[in-house]
Amino acid sequence: MKKRLPVVVVFLLFSVVSYSQNNFVEGYVVTSRDTLRGFIFDKQLDKETRRVQFKSSLSSTSATEYKPLDIIGFYVAPYGEFYLGQAIDIDVKPVRQGMLESNPAARFKKDTVFLKQLARGKANLYFFRDSEKSHFFLQKENGPVKELLYIVYQTGDVTSKKAEIFRNQLSEAFADCSETSVKKAEYSKASLTKAFAAYNTCMGAVNNYAAPVEKPKTQLSLLAGAVAPVLNYQGGDDYNGQTAKDATFTSAPAPLAGVMINFGSKRPSNPISLGVEVLYRKDAHDFHIEDFTTTVTINVHYHSIRINPTLNYTFINTKLKPYLKAGVASGMSFGETNQMEIYRTLGGLYADKVYKGKVTDLSSFDMGFIGGIGVPWLKRFIAEVRYEVGVKGGSDARLNIKGASFVIGYRLK
């Protein structure tokens, strides 16, 4: 497996570079004169979007790039999202600790961006995210677009305060509907969208729209594979001598099988997802070592249930869509066989057993780290190459376990 690992990694990395392609989805662009139907380049559009690429046909070899003032806006059909092009005043006041300012007033800067529409009706709600924070904007019917202000500032050396001005802005804007209360509104997509939807319903607005709450997409997969573990035995009593102490051994491949649940965005353009694996693994570490005066036999067998939470990054703009994963590896073992036999010898002339018993009182819990690279194929299958390092502690010694593994997965519906 060691010889094959570099070949697999090189192949996957080569695929990232060699098979790059753009992701375009159905949509249209609205200009001052016409609506152009075609395909929009799908990336993380609600995060600092200042330009958009458009194709009239997927077979087109080139795309037209539009900036916010070139068009009225654009629509992304798979997600039902409309983006409005605007030149606006945007608050650039920082919200992170260590960068807070003492002045509670907003600090505006003129910017030209695409705003994502979260609610439409008598009052429209828009959203924009830059590298510093999230911004929400209010528009009454066809009036000017103004930012709803949420300011964090600093008083003294360490104390921070919040100026939630947006509630006063909403109270004033929604004053013509006594049924709409914004006293408990939070500065978040879900809370503000709900408040705008309530107001637009109260006002009897025609063609209302409220963006649905974004829920993660879950994907269940079956996993099976094997790991080639390398064990390092550290510590031990004096009678174990130096023959086994701090020695490193290569074990037989350990089979594993289980399930993985992946939580990600419904948008293919979002490369980040969270995975949680629950695996069964069977380890069998058998070693026989000797020198001129000592022979040691070690047998450590155990079953384990492993839970591995991982963070995954997919190279979305590639044909194969390979992904990287990294996370914590943990396991709880059971059904343990734990034995060491030590013989004193003299050049093989005789053998005198000096110890038979446990290697050490091993903990049933182990923990480490895992990382790897994978690639999907044939729509439902995935293949991963991983590397894991971990520690299984004991009363007077410990086992450091590491190894490469190969895993095949099948994605269920």
DSSP codes of every residue in 159-215: EEEEE-THHHHHHHHTTT-TT---TT--SSHHHHHHHHHHHHHHTT-TT-EEPPPP-
- Rounded to whole angstroms, the Cα distance separating 23 from 97 reads 37
Residue ranges per domain, the chain? 22-210, 217-411
Query: Mean pLDDT across the chain, nearest whole number?
Result: 85
Identify the pLDDT of residue 262: 94
Residue 359's nearest CA partner among 340, 334, 337 is 340
Tokens standing for 10? 């090189």
Q: Answer whether residue 330 shows pLDDT above 50.
A: yes
Identify the pLDDT of residue 22: 55
pLDDT above 90: percentage of residues in the chain: 51
Identify the pLDDT of residue 409: 96
Q: Answer whether residue 400 shows pLDDT above 80.
A: yes
Q: Answer whether residue 255 shows pLDDT above 90.
A: yes
Q: Answer whether residue 1 shows pLDDT above 70.
A: no
DSSP codes of every residue in 162-176: EE-THHHHHHHHTTT
Q: Answer whether residue 217 shows pLDDT above 70.
A: yes
pLDDT (tens digit per residue) in 22-71: 578 899 999 999 999 999 998 767 677 889 999 999 888 889 999 999 99
pLDDT band at 247 (very low <50, low <70, confident <90, very high): low
The domain 217-411 is placed in CATH, from the list 1.10.3720.10, 1.10.20.10, 3.30.420.40, 2.40.160.20, at: 2.40.160.20
pLDDT higher at 146 or 182: 146
As a whole number, mean pLDDT of residues 131-160 equals: 89
Out of 162-166, 196-200, 317-321, 344-348, which region has the weakest mean confidence (pLDDT)? 344-348
Q: Answer whether residue 372 shows pLDDT above 90.
A: yes
Look at the pTM and tell me if it is higher than 0.75.
no
pLDDT (tens digit per residue) in 149-192: 999 998 876 778 899 999 999 999 999 988 888 888 999 999 99
pLDDT (tens digit per residue) in 333-349: 999 888 878 777 766 56
Instruction: Report the 10 Å Cβ neighbour count for 382.
Output: 20
Tokens standing for 295? 């022979």
| Long-range contacts of the stretch 394-398 (C-beta < 8 A, 24+) | 394/235, 394/359, 394/360, 394/361, 394/362, 394/363, 395/360, 395/361, 396/235, 396/236, 396/237, 396/360, 396/361, 397/233, 397/234, 397/235, 397/236, 397/359, 397/360, 398/234, 398/235, 398/360
